[in-house]
């Protein structure tokens, strides 16, 4: 896929724990804009040679510019130059089909810079180039919030793991926190007059309630951290010493991925806030427009105007697989059983103490019979 004409791409995690990739291709010459879905081989970190399904979009729809995939893996919202289109990914006997569905609240709303589903799939949020914010209940499509002046122009957006908060940033450097269930703004993140808050992502490990943002101050760029219980900035670190154009967090929250304006990919271990992987000039000097972690493996997919969609296997320590954990538990159990058996065989039991010099060697059963005959004796021991 490298060097292709893909304008956007995203992972799809299907109910059967299978990973697919959806890509969007712009109109070239007389060809119409396309959506294509590929199967993904985790072992080789590669896509299938041919797409599972191809869907041609109407010329009036405009080129695809971004995706939001529902957590179920069965619905895809595609942002275009004109608005948003909804597709249902159906499969029957491994034959896939993309079915266009109606999406009334987002017809002809113009290009949307940011799209996101909540973790539980019950909310869908869009942020437009015109600064318009919409929070929509899913799948009823009821509009919960319609704020036309949320920002001057949306830069980035993310939803917290518990689907309670929304963070959004503007091209003017401001950032706001929204209460999703209340469908109302909460606060604006504090910043110095010479600072611009750009990319933003919530932590995902369920243990540390943090918000990560890239902050540009003059020629310097740092990754800052906010505590979402107080919304106070608690620290920062300079990781990638160049402007950041894209930011992503792995689903387990262990890694951050940063894409630079000149095509670098940098992956950071959150626990140590240290760089674990760095691919320089990965997109041939052009800005990375999006970057996203694979749901199952330490692999990312990134897009840019120059190279299209690129899949990168990360050089980070491998995670324990589920079967490896079960094997370790079984090994520990069997090892404990062997140790217990050896201890039992080579130590005196309660019934096999060494007999005294004048103690008669009576069988255990006979002893029990004699003891039972004394049951009527009510005298104390």
**pLDDT tens-digit series, residues 167-210:** 999 999 999 999 998 888 999 999 999 999 999 999 998 787 89
d(CA 1, CA 309): 6
Per-residue confidence at 360, pLDDT binned at 50, 70, 90? low
Q: Residue 297: how many CB atoms within 10 A of its CB?
A: 16
Q: Are 64 and 81 in contact (CB under 8 A)?
A: no
> Would you say residue 367 has pLDDT above 70?
no
218-229 pLDDT, tens digit per residue, is 889 999 999 999
CA distances from 165 to 150, 187, 349 (A): 15, 11, 62
Q: What are phi and psi of 73, to 5 degrees?
A: 80, 10
32 occurs within a structural domain: yes
337 occurs within a structural domain: no
Residue 154's nearest CA partner among 137, 142, 166, 136 is 166
> Would you say residue 319 has pLDDT above 70?
no
d(CA 321, CA 299): 15
In percent, the amount of the chain with pLDDT more than 90 equals 67
- Please state the rounded mean pLDDT for residues 51-72: 93
User: Residue 27 class from Cβ within 10 Å (0-12 exposed, 13-18 middle, 19+ buried)?
Assistant: middle
Overall number of domains in the chain: 1
> Would you say residue 109 has pLDDT above 80?
yes
pLDDT of residue 349: 53
64 occurs within a structural domain: yes
Q: Residue 358: how many CB atoms within 10 A of its CB?
A: 5
pLDDT of residue 339: 81
Q: What are phi and psi of 375, to 5 degrees?
A: -65, -25
pLDDT of residue 322: 54
74 occurs within a structural domain: yes
221 occurs within a structural domain: no
d(CA 332, CA 261): 49
- Please state the rounded mean pLDDT for residues 321-335: 66
- Please state the rounded mean pLDDT for residues 49-76: 93
Q: Are 308 and 328 in contact (CB under 8 A)?
A: no
**Which residues make beta-bridge pairs with 130?**
none
- Please state the rounded mean pLDDT for residues 83-107: 91
Q: Residue 190: how many CB atoms within 10 A of its CB?
A: 12
pLDDT of residue 1: 56
81 vs 359, more confident: 81
d(CA 203, CA 125): 18
265-314 pLDDT, tens digit per residue, is 999 999 999 999 999 988 988 999 999 999 999 999 999 988 999 999 99
d(CA 51, CA 249): 27
Q: 3-class DSSP state for residue 77?
A: strand
Per-residue confidence at 368, pLDDT binned at 50, 70, 90? very low
d(CA 228, CA 211): 6
d(CA 260, CA 133): 26
260 occurs within a structural domain: no
Q: Which range marks the domain in which residue 78 is found?
A: 1-110
Strands of 232-237's sheet in order across = 195-202, 210-217, 220-227, 232-237
CA dihedral for 318, 222, 289, 154, sign (positive or negative): positive
Burial 110-140, CB ≥16 within 10 A → b, else e: bbbbbbbbbbeeebbbbbbbbbbbbbbebee
pTM of the model: 0.82
37 occurs within a structural domain: yes
d(CA 167, CA 179): 9
105 occurs within a structural domain: yes
d(CA 167, CA 121): 17
78, two tokens: 């595609």
Chain centroid offset of residue 8 CA = 18
């Amino acid at each position: 896929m490298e060097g292709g004409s893909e304008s956007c791409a995203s992972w799809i995690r299907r109910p059967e724990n299978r990973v697919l990739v959806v890509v969007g291709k712009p109109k070239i010459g007389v060809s119409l804009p396309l959506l294509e879905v590929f199967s993904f081989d985790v072992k080789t970190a590669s896509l299938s040679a041919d797409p599972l399904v191809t869907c041609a979009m109407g010329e009036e729809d405009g080129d695809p510019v971004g995706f939001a995939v529902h957590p179920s893996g069965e619905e895809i919202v595609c942002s275009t130059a004109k608005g948003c289109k909804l597709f249902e990914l159906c499969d029957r006997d491994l034959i896939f089909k993309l079915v266009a569905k109606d999406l009334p609240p987002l017809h002809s709303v113009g290009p949307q810079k940011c799209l996101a589903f909540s973790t539980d799939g019950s909310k869908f949020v869009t942020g437009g180039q015109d600064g318009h914010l919409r929070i929509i209940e899913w799948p009823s499509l009821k509009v919960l919030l319609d704020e036309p002046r949320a920002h001057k122009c949306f830069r980035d957006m993310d939803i917290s793991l518990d689907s309670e908060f929304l963070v959004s940033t503007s091209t003017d450097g401001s950032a706001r926190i929204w209460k999703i269930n209340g469908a109302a703004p909460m606060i604006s993140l504090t910043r110095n007059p010479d600072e611009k808050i750009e990319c933003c992502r919530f932590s995902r490990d369920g243990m540390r309630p943090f918000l990560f943002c890239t902050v540009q101050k003059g020629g310097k760029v740092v990754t800052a951290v906010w505590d979402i219980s107080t919304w106070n900035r608690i620290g920062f670190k300079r990781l990638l010493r160049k402007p950041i154009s894209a930011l992503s967090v792995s689903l387990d929250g262990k890694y951050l991925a940063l894409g630079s304006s000149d095509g670098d990919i940098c992956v950071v271990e959150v626990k140590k806030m240290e760089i674990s992987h760095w691919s320089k000039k990965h997109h041939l000097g052009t800005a990375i427009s999006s970057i996203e972690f694979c749901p199952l493996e330490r692999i990312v997919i990134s897009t840019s105007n120059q190279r299209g969609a690129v899949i990168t296997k990360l050089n980070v320590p491998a995670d324990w697989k589920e079967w490896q954990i079960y094997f370790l538990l079984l090994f520990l159990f069997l090892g404990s059983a062997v140790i217990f058996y050896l201890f039992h065989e080579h130590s005196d039991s309660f019934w096999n103490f060494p007999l005294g010099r004048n103690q008669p060697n009576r069988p255990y059963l006979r002893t029990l019979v004699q003891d039972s005959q004394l049951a009527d004796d009510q005298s104390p021991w």
